[in-house]
C-alpha cells in the first residue's frame, strides 16, 4: 500500500508539472526571439499582452511546482529530511515563543536603572573564546584566507573573472537566481563556460519563485524576463540546474560559489540586478582548506536536491570531503543553521555575552528578542554596542519590526545608525571576533532556514572588515538619537514577524 501511494504521488506530481509546462508553452500567440541560447540560438518568448499572461501563468506554475515538490515529492525521496524539518521547526518555534514571552514580560523590563558610560575594558581573550566556541557550537576550526568584496561591482567583477579562469568546475548554490537583465547576463556567461567546464547551479525554489515575480525598479523597461530561469540556464547549454525543495515552507538561504574546488565566494549576495547595482552588500573570497568543507556542504546540498534525495545525501556524507584546496591561511570556522542545530545563533549569542569592549553589527533584518536582550545586557555592563540598519528596507513587515527594535535598543543605550539606502550586509565584530555570511538576525536565519557564515579571530580580517565596511558605513550613516514613531500596524507586524519570520 505504501509503495502504491508513493507511486500515485509521483504520478500526480509529474502530471501537475506536465500541465503547468503545457500552459506556459501555449499561452499567447505573438512571440519574439530573445538571445540566450548556445551558438546564437534563440529562446522564443511571448510578447505584449501574451507575455504578461504567460508570466502570470508561469508564476502560478512555479508556485504549483514548489507546492508539489514540497508536499508530494519530498516525503517520497527525502523522507528523513522532510520529517526532521517539521520536528525541528515545531521544537524551535515552541521554544522561541516561550523565550520571547519571558523576555518581553520579565527579563527585558527587569533591565532598569541608569545606563553606565562606555567602559575602557580590555576585549575578551580570543584564544580562550575560540576554545569556548568549540564547546558551544560543537564545531572545529579549519584554515583559510578571507578577502572582502564590498558591493556588486567589486564582487561580480571578481566572480566573473574567476568563472572565466575556471578549468574544471563551477558550483553555485544561492537563494535567488533572478530573471532580470543582469541575472540573465550571468546565466549567459555560465552557459558559454559550460561548453568547457562542469557548471552546476542550485537555487531555492521558494526564494527564486518570489523574486522572479517582482522586477527591480532600475531594470530597463523594454526587457522581458525569462519565464523560468531553470529552463533558461539549461536551454542550449550543458549547465545542470537543481532547485532546492521547501519542506514546510523552509528554505536554503546559503550563498556560495566555488571555482575548481579551490576558490569560494561566500556572503549575502544573490544573483540579480539589486545586488549588482542597487544595494550595499558584502561577499568575500575564500581560499585554503576551509574551501574543502564548503565544497562538501555544497555537494551534499546538490545530492539532496536530486532525484535520489536523502539517499544521495547520505552517500555524499559518507564519502567525506576531498582535499583539493591550497594548504594556507589562518583559523577559520564554518557556522551553519540546520535542523536541530543553530551554530550561527548559539555562537553570536555567546559572543554578545562574552564581549567586554565593543560590538558592531550591520544587518538588514533585526527581530530576534534574545539577541536584543543580550545586547541590552552587554551595553549595561559598559560594552560599546553599535548597530547599523538600512534606511530603505525592502521588506514591509521586517521594516516594521526594525522600528520596534530601534526603540528597544535606544532605551538601553545602544547606538543605532540608519544607512542611507538599502544595506543587505550581514556582518558583526565582537571584540575582534568576526562573524559574516548569509544569516540575518531574524527567526528564519537563526533557527529555520539553511544558512552559512564564516567566523575568525584573525585580526587582519577584523581590521579589514572595520576599514572596508564598518568605519565607512558609520561615517555616512545618520545616528538615530530620538525614538522613532511606531504605529499600531507596525506593532502588529512585529508580533507576526517574531512568530513567522
Residue 416 is predicted with a pLDDT of 97
- How many Å apart are CA 29 and CA 183, to the nearest integer? 27
Q: 490 vs 235, which has greater pLDDT? A: 235
Residue 183 CB-density burial (10 A; 0-12 exposed, 13-18 middle, 19+ buried): buried
Q: How far is CA 365 from the centre of its chain?
A: 12
Residue 96 is predicted with a pLDDT of 80
Instruction: Using pLDDT thresholds of 50, 70 and 90, give the confidence band for residue 25.
Output: very low
CA-nearest of 427, 493, 433, 445 to 266 is 427
Q: In this predicted model, what pLDDT tens digit does every residue of 332-350 receive, in sequence order?
A: 999 999 999 899 999 999 9
Residue whose C-alpha cell reads 506554475 in the numeric block: 61
Q: Is the pLDDT of residue 5 over 50?
A: no
Statement to judge: residues 487 and 396 lie in one domain: yes
Establish how many alpha carbons lie within 13 A of residue 312's alpha carbon, considering only the half-sphere containing its beta carbon: 15
Domain boundary at 67, 83, 99, which? 83
Q: Is the pLDDT of residue 325 over 60?
A: yes
Residue 94 is predicted with a pLDDT of 87
Q: 31 vs 58, which has greater pLDDT? A: 58
Q: In this predicted model, what pLDDT tens digit does every residue of 372-410 receive, in sequence order?
A: 999 999 999 999 999 999 998 766 667 778 888 999 999
Statement to judge: residues 79 and 90 lie in one domain: no
Statement to judge: residues 249 and 356 lie in one domain: no
Instruction: Give the H/E segment covering residue 31.
Output: strand 31-35
Q: 412 vs 492, which has greater pLDDT? A: 412
Cα 485 to Cα 114, 177, 179, 366, 473, distances in angstroms: 24, 36, 37, 17, 24
Burial track 324-359 (b if 16+ CB lie within 10 A, e otherwise): ebeeebbbbbbbbbbbeebbbbbbbbbbbebbbbbb
- How many Å apart are CA 471 and CA 482, to the nearest integer? 22
Average pLDDT, the chain: 88
Statement to judge: residues 345 and 485 lie in one domain: yes
- How many Å apart are CA 290 and CA 455, to the nearest integer? 11
- Range name among 20-34, 225-239, 478-492 with the lowest pLDDT average: 20-34
Q: In this predicted model, what pLDDT tens digit does every residue of 243-267 receive, in sequence order?
A: 999 999 899 999 999 999 999 999 9
Statement to judge: residues 152 and 227 lie in one domain: yes
Residue 420 CB-density burial (10 A; 0-12 exposed, 13-18 middle, 19+ buried): middle
Q: Reduced to 3 states, what is the DSSP secondary structure of residue 226? A: coil
Q: 70 vs 161, which has greater pLDDT? A: 161
Statement to judge: residues 173 and 255 lie in one domain: yes
State percent of the chain over pLDDT 90.
68
Instruction: Using pLDDT thresholds of 50, 70 and 90, give the confidence band for residue 424.
Output: very high
Q: Is the pLDDT of residue 49 over 70?
A: yes
Instruction: Give the H/E segment covering residue 398.
Output: helix 396-411
Residue 129: φ, ψ to 5°: -60, -45
Residue whose C-alpha cell reads 532547485 in the numeric block: 243
Statement to judge: residues 77 and 90 lie in one domain: no
- How many Å apart are CA 205 and CA 76, to the nearest integer? 18
Instruction: Give the H/E segment covering residue 354.
Output: helix 343-354
Statement to judge: residues 314 and 233 lie in one domain: yes
Q: Is the pLDDT of residue 225 over 50?
A: yes
CA-nearest of 193, 175, 179 to 451 is 175
Residue whose C-alpha cell reads 581560499 in the numeric block: 287
- Range name among 24-28, 48-52, 214-218, 374-378 with the lowest pLDDT average: 24-28
Q: Is the pLDDT of residue 489 over 90?
A: no
Residue 451: φ, ψ to 5°: -135, 160
- Range name among 95-109, 123-137, 141-155 with the lowest pLDDT average: 95-109
Neighbours of 362 (CB within 10 A): 27
- The C-alpha cell at 77 is 525521496
Residue 399 is predicted with a pLDDT of 76
Domain boundary at 328, 357, 373, which? 328
Instruction: Using pLDDT thresholds of 50, 70 and 90, give the confidence band for residue 351.
Output: very high
Instruction: Using pLDDT thresholds of 50, 70 and 90, give the confidence band for residue 421.
Output: very high
Q: Is the pLDDT of residue 44 over 80?
A: no
Q: How far is CA 345 from the centre of its chain?
A: 14
Residue 462 is predicted with a pLDDT of 98
Statement to judge: residues 321 and 214 lie in one domain: yes
Residue 337: φ, ψ to 5°: -110, 120
Residue 466 is predicted with a pLDDT of 98
Domain boundary at 278, 304, 328, which? 328
Contact 369, 99 (CB under 8 A): yes
Residue 411: φ, ψ to 5°: -60, -30
Q: Is the pLDDT of residue 172 over 90?
A: yes
Residue 48 is predicted with a pLDDT of 66
Statement to judge: residues 311 and 278 lie in one domain: yes
Residue 478 CB-density burial (10 A; 0-12 exposed, 13-18 middle, 19+ buried): exposed
Instruction: Using pLDDT thresholds of 50, 70 and 90, give the confidence band for residue 10.
Output: very low
The CATH number of the domain where 360 resides is what? 3.30.870.10
State percent of the chain over pLDDT 70.
88
Number of domains the chain is built from: 3
Q: In this predicted model, what pLDDT tens digit does every residue of 266-294 receive, in sequence order?
A: 999 999 999 999 999 999 999 999 999 99
Q: Tell me the average pLDDT across 36-40.
A: 37
- Helix 396-411 to helix 369-380 angle (10° resolution) is 20
Contact 184, 494 (CB under 8 A): no
> What residues make up the domain containing 281?
142-328
Rounded (5°) CA angle 162-336-385: 100
Statement to judge: residues 149 and 91 lie in one domain: no
Instruction: Using pLDDT thresholds of 50, 70 and 90, give the confidence band for residue 500.
Output: low
Q: Tell me the average pLDDT across 447-466.
A: 97
Residue 30 is predicted with a pLDDT of 34
Q: Is the pLDDT of residue 149 over 60?
A: yes
Statement to judge: residues 53 and 91 lie in one domain: no
Q: Reduced to 3 states, what is the DSSP secondary structure of residue 427? A: strand
Residue 112 is predicted with a pLDDT of 86
Amino acid at each position: 500500500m505504501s509503495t502504491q501511494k508513493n507511486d500515485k504521488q509521483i504520478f500526480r506530481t509529474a502530471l501537475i508539472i506536465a500541465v503547468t509546462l503545457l500552459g506556459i508553452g501555449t499561452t499567447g500567440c505573438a512571440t519574439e526571439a530573445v538571445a540566450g541560447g548556445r551558438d546564437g540560438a534563440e529562446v522564443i518568448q511571448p510578447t505584449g499582452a501574451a507575455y504578461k499572461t504567460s508570466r502570470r501563468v508561469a508564476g502560478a506554475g512555479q508556485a504549483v511546482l514548489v507546492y508539489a515538490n514540497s508536499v508530494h515529492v519530498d516525503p517520497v525521496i527525502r523522507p528523513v529530511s522532510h520529517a526532521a524539518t517539521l520536528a525541528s521547526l515545531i521544537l524551535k518555534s515552541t521554544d522561541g515563543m516561550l523565550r520571547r514571552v519571558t523576555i518581553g514580560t520579565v527579563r527585558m523590563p527587569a533591565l532598569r536603572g541608569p545606563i553606565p558610560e562606555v567602559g575602557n575594558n580590555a576585549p575578551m581573550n580570543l584564544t580562550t573564546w575560540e576554545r569556548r566556541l568549540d564547546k558551544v557550537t560543537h564545531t572545529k576550526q579549519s584554515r583559510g584566507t578571507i578577502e572582502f568584496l564590498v558591493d556588486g561591482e567589486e564582487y561580480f567583477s571578481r566572480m566573473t573573472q574567476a568563472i572565466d579562469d575556471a578549468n574544471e568546475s563551477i558550483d553555485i548554490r544561492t537563494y535567488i537566481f533572478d530573471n532580470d537583465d543582469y541575472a540573465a547576463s550571468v546565466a549567459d556567461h555560465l552557459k558559454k563556460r559550460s561548453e568547457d567546464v562542469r557548471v552546476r547551479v542550485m537555487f531555492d525554489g521558494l526564494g527564486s519563485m518570489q523574486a522572479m515575480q517582482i522586477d527591480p525598479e532600475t531594470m530597463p523597461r523594454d526587457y522581458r524576463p525569462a519565464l523560468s530561469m531553470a529552463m533558461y540556464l539549461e536551454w542550449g547549454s550543458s549547465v545542470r540546474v537543481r532547485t532546492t525543495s521547501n519542506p514546510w515552507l523552509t528554505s536554503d538561504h546559503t550563498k556560495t560559489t566555488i571555482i575548481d574546488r579551490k576558490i569560494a565566494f561566500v556572503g549575502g549576495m544573490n544573483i540579480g540586478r539589486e545586488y549588482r547595482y542597487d544595494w550595499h552588500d558584502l561577499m568575500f573570497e575564500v581560499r585554503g582548506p576551509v574551501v574543502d568543507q564548503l565544497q562538501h556542504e555544497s555537494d551534499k546540498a546538490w545530492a539532496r536536491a536530486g532525484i535520489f534525495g536523502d539517499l544521495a545525501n547520505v552517500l555524499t556524507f559518507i564519502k567525506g570531503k576531498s582535499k583539493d584546496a591550497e594548504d594556507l591561511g589562518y583559523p577559520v570556522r564554518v557556522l551553519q543553521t540546520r535542523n536541530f542545530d543553530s551554530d550561527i545563533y548559539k555562537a553570536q549569542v555567546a559572543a554578545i555575552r562574552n564581549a567586554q569592549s565593543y560590538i558592531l553589527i550591520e544587518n538588514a533584518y533585526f527581530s530576534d528578542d534574545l539577541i536584543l536582550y543580550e545586547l541590552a545586557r552587554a551595553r549595561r555592563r559598559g560594552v560599546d554596542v553599535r548597530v547599523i540598519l538600512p534606511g530603505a528596507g525592502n521588506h514591509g513587515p521586517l521594516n516594521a519590526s526594525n522600528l520596534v527594535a530601534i526603540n528597544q535598543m535606544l532605551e538601553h543605550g545602544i547606538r543605532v545608525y540608519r544607512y542611507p539606502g538599502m544595506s543587505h550586509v550581514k556582518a558583526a565584530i565582537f571584540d575582534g571576533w568576526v562573524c559574516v555570511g548569509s544569516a540575518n538576525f531574524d527567526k528564519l536565519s537563526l533557527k529555520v532556514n539553511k544558512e552559512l557564515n564564516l567566523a575568525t579571530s584573525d585580526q587582519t580580517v577584523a581590521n579589514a572588515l572595520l576599514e572596508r565596511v564598518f568605519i565607512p558605513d558609520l561615517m555616512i550613516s545618520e545616528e538615530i538619537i530620538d525614538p522613532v514613531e511606531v504605529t499600531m500596524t507596525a506593532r502588529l507586524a512585529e508580533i507576526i514577524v517574531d512568530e513567522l519570520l
